[in-house]
A = this chain, B = another copy of it.
Amino acid sequence: MAPLKMEDLSEDRILHLVDQIKDWQVTKLSHRETVHVAGQLMEDIPQCFPTAVPRSRFDQAIKLQTVFNRLYCAVAEDDQWLYNVIRDIIPTDSLAKALWSVHEAVKKDGYVQSISLGLFRSDYMLHLDHDKEMESDDEDELSDASLKQVEMNTFSASGGSHADKVQVMHHYLARTGMYETSGVAFDSTSLATNRNIKSIGSSLALAHETYGHARSKGVKATAVLMIVQPNNFNIADERPIEYELWDRQVPVPTYRLEFGADVLQYTSLGQDRELLFQPPWLESGLEISVVYMRAGYEAHEYDDVGIKARIQLEQSTAIKCPSVLSHITTFKKVQQALSAPGTLEAFLPGHEASMIRETFMPMYLMDESEQGLHARKLACDLVQSMNYILKPSLEGGGHNVYGSDIPPYLSLTPEAQWSSYILMERIHPPLQSNLLMGPAVLDSGETVSELGIFGCCLWQSAKTADAQASEESDHRIQMLSNEVGGWTFKTKFADIDEMSVVKGFGHFDTPLLVDL
């Protein structure tokens, strides 16, 4: 399959395609307008035409995922290594400070659950390593592009449900012949398929089963507890997972609870630190088997109540998805530290370390080391900064500073805080022309895409596990399950830096796998 050529389609066809998409939105997708609480909804904004991705790069990203899973599980179980990486930012980064304080509080009395669940998402873009002027729709460029990691999300990774729902639409549009051009049939088997909702549901169900029966006296049943944000703009992404769990052949009871005060009000710890859940609308209390965190990723959530709530969850026997230490691995500092020479080899066999390293863009600390001072020089230079992104250790991409914005940004930031950032070389993706639907207008232009791969893994700390020497284990961890969950794929105009779906920039897309 070759990339779609938009110019081969008549205006009639494009207008008809837009009508098809709008009706699909009304009947099958979630919409901002329908959110019932004041606020916004992360909606499924679909891309009009599936964007081409070389099949070899897509397959590479899939193949890497179980290695990335294992790497991050191992990192999460090495609190000394993690401490060394984030130590410098604990005084200045309030999220790092809060999370480390939670870890220390729980460690004092000892963790009572050695098993953790990870629902990770590794994000990639295609990258052209040369400086030549880029032209759109150039198949040569696509075939030259390598796969580079944007970031690794180990906490509250979202978008899985949206991606699932939107790809169903692209498959439908393909079947109806909307992507045929000049009588050439569109091979819809070239559209990637997805199963995030099922995979994430299966992983939570496995963790739930692994937890076993209720241990607390007088409690009959166990359940998964999804910890969510108030006025939740993510319900359209979270709810399908909950529905999937209830809909399984053996239903997995799943409930939602807002992070913060509600955790302290409606949960308590049993005699052996079981996590008990008793909201007023449930007739009998439940013991929580799995705590699935879809909140607690922003610094402002950790006031005194937030910290107490997180400690209570972490102290419990419930399997955390994920643990606080695993949460900390999502910091950009960790991504940078893993790129330092020799580090990957401490966690992975050599051939795997090389596979992973190939996907890293150059990343620099912004501290006062020799390397850090070099990075500061790059970042403050009006010309050289153009090729970099300044990333704070916060969740998501919304806080990044891009290119020429970096020098003025740093000039307004106290130098004492600079070391909480990392500097990453910009990825230069090949451009593809496409059509993006906004809420009011349809616009065409050069676009770039980001591919996320979900990893689903259940692991046990080797300190407690009967560690058996195998490819799936090292001295830190034993992998109980290690799977690829599915993918997300987002496309935006190339001249916008942020891939934010919430802000309406990013559109959910489906990779059109092309053999080049």
Contact = CB atoms under 8 A, between A and B. Distances in A.
B36 A281 contact: no
A384 interface: no
A36 B22 contact: yes
Those 3 A-B pairs whose CB atoms lie nearest each other, nearest first: A16-B281, A12-B280, A12-B281
Interface of A: 10, 12-13, 15-17, 22-28, 30-31, 33-36, 41, 172, 175-177, 180, 182-183, 235-236, 239-240, 243, 246-247, 251, 253, 279-284
A24 B239 contact: yes
B176 A246 contact: yes
A10 B281 contact: yes
Contact of A183 (B35, B182, B281, B283): B283
A172 B243 contact: yes
Contact of A180 (B12, B22, B283): B283
A247 to B, nearest CB: 7
Given A34-B31, A176-B246, A23 B251 contact: no
B15 A281 contact: yes
A24 B236 CA distance: 9
Q: Quick one: copies of this chain in the complex?
A: 2
Given A31-B34, A34-B33, A35-B26, A172 B246 contact: yes
Contacts of A176: 246, 253
Given A23-B239, A27-B239, 11 more contacts: A12-B279, A12-B281, A15-B281, A16-B279, A26-B30, A26-B34, A26-B41, A27-B243, A34-B34, A172-B246, A183-B284
A281 B182 CA distance: 12
A177 B279 CA distance: 13
16 contacts: A16-B279, A22-B36, A23-B235, A26-B34, A26-B36, A26-B41, A27-B30, A27-B235, A28-B243, A31-B34, A33-B34, A172-B246, A175-B251, A176-B253, A180-B283, A183-B283
A18 to B, nearest CB: 10
A114 to B, nearest CB: 31
B172 A247 contact: yes
Nearest to A239: B27
